[in-house]
Amino acid sequence: MKTLCSPALKDIRLTDPVLRFRQERCFDSTIPAVIAQTLKSGRIQAFALKWKEGMPDKPHIFWDSDVAKVMEGMAYTLALSPDPDLEKIYEEWVDLICSAQQPDGYLNVYFTIVEPEKRFANLMYDHELYCAGHLIEAAVAGYEALGKRKLLDCLCRYADYLCSVFGYEEGKRRGWPGHEEIELALAKLYRVTRKENYLKLLQYFINDRGTSPNFYVESEGKNSAALMQVQAVRPVREQKKAEGHAVRQIYLACGMADLAALDQDESLLTACRELYDNITLRQMYVTGGIGSCFAQERFTVDYDLTNGNLMYAESCAAMGLAFFAWRMYNVTGETKYMDTVERCLYNGILSGIGLCGDKFFYANYLEMDENHSSRFSRTREPWFDCACCPTSFARFIPQFGRFLYSVDPTEELVMINIPAANHAELELNGRKIVLDIAGKYPYDGMIKITVGTSGRFALQPRIPGWCGKYSLCLNGKLQENWCIRRDWNAGDVLELDLEMPPEWIYSHPKVTSNSGRVAIMRGPLVYALEEIDQNVPVRSLILKTSSPLKIVSSAFEILKDVPVLEGVAESETFPDESLYSTQPPIVSTVTFRAIPYALWQNRGDTNMAVWMRRS
């Protein structure tokens, strides 16, 4: 197995036209917005443990996780953009959270003040271990990003308590998280503390899950449908396809990948590979969205990928898939995994948050029209009662830099995963590797990489799976070997050219929702047609794939410098207002325009579609 490492967040400074803007907007809009909503809803105040029956703002079983994700986002933000006022809030919240810890180390607001008699009584549905996992992640973030130990020490005491409760040993109880998350959190905690008990608990939660006799059947009386929803029908190494709740499944996969790397466990890595292949080859939207069924937020069956009201593609799930694929890339070095990270990042993730930074989609639809009806709005919302997605953006966006590079200390190799413009100062075996990447990626494939370090090491840019033609020049000389190992001089320049013509994308015929339809991609970007750009209803269009697509400018300021695609289509007009007619539609030739899917619904409420009928 590979042991690739990702850089510390402070080592990367974004300068590109997409990720930098989103990250800055996160700092000045998203973080303040989720802090305000966390206060308004009473989530953070609940840690004072003063709530009594009959009082407003009754704590919920998953509130701790929302607070934890905001804390994680604050820690990363402070590492990248120091702010004394934000740091004061962070410290106050740390103090309040730590004050809620019980003498035995237990830390959960709901099961301390609302139903203390039900601690660990319903592991499948009550989110205790899920909340513990997010609190641990927040604690590790505060320590790694800011060097702060108070929250880490607090959560180590909680983790110690959990180690005393769960496990194989006599006197401990069986039990698995109903909503997976603590698995990957334990891996993080083990890496920063090297305490074997945390690795041992991670091994237990992964290796015992789904084994016979089944804990959920024996202790909680659950049926097979419930077991599938939480990935507990069978042991993890026997699960060949993604099933059940999408976020639960993808968080479990992250934990499995972490444990495979820590234990150098080839059988577990094989199981991760099988899950990944099933998801990306059979159950993933073209945008990187996963979880195709609105009901229970779940995976269904292969090729079931509807585009409208019945679909789901939760924002949290796309972020989870990016985290899983990133882990798989770092343990294998195989670029197909980074292709998926990039697909999620530029499409199914960024679509979930508005350019304003404080409005969010929970579900990410691939088509929208006036007949849309679901529990989610047509437009982004500032908050949700179940606030997992807004708080996930608060912690995910500051971590963009993690995905751009991987370092292989054994090979003395720096891998450029995503060539977004940035300034990087990377640690490689005790020395600093300085790189400056310039360009307009993902809007343009011309990338300039300037090396700011002298010395011998290897540098390897990734060739994306979507790119059919590319070149690499070193100081003006064309290179044949993509991995360049040499004695570098400060000022050496690599010029990477990734050609990215607009392309028509077709789906497998088993995806019946897309029969006779086509989508558009350019480079890593999926495009969408918004009605605001058309002179006719968007669903009346039939795209002519025989006509070329060209890049044009837009009259909308919000799309300044964004490549907008233009092509030819036919538009159908029904002869009258009848529901049915013996007369065929009237057909006219029109021009259509498409914008990056991640930018849709930022210019007001409008209809949209990704998969369009084709001539």
Q: Which residues are catalytic?
A: 297, 388
Residue 435 in tokens: 């790189």
Of the candidates 428, 478, 425, 421, which has an alpha carbon nearest to the alpha carbon of residue 444?
Answer: 421
Using CA atoms, how far apart are residues 86 and 83, in angstroms rounded to an integer?
Answer: 5
Pair 487, 503: CB distance under 8 Å: no
Q: From residue 534, how far is each of 203, 416, 547 by CA, in Å?
A: 55, 38, 17
Using CA atoms, how far apart are residues 420 and 402, in angstroms rounded to an integer?
Answer: 12
Asked, as a colleague might, if the bond just before 409 is cis with ω within 30 of 0, I would say no
Of the candidates 311, 319, 331, which has an alpha carbon nearest to the alpha carbon of residue 6?
Answer: 331
Q: Which residues pair with 407 in a beta bridge?
A: 5, 414
- DSSP states of 484-511: EEEEE-TT-EEEEEE---EEEE---TT-
Using CA atoms, how far apart are residues 597 and 604, in angstroms rounded to an integer?
Answer: 15
Asked, as a colleague might, if the bond just before 537 is cis with ω within 30 of 0, I would say no
CA angle 208, 210, 213 (to 5 degrees): 85
Of the candidates 550, 551, 529, 525, which has an alpha carbon nearest to the alpha carbon of residue 540?
Answer: 529
Using CA atoms, how far apart are residues 564 and 556, in angstroms rounded to an integer?
Answer: 11
Using CA atoms, how far apart are residues 237 and 135, in angstroms rounded to an integer?
Answer: 28
| Contacts of 301 by beta carbon, 8 Å cutoff, 6+ apart | none
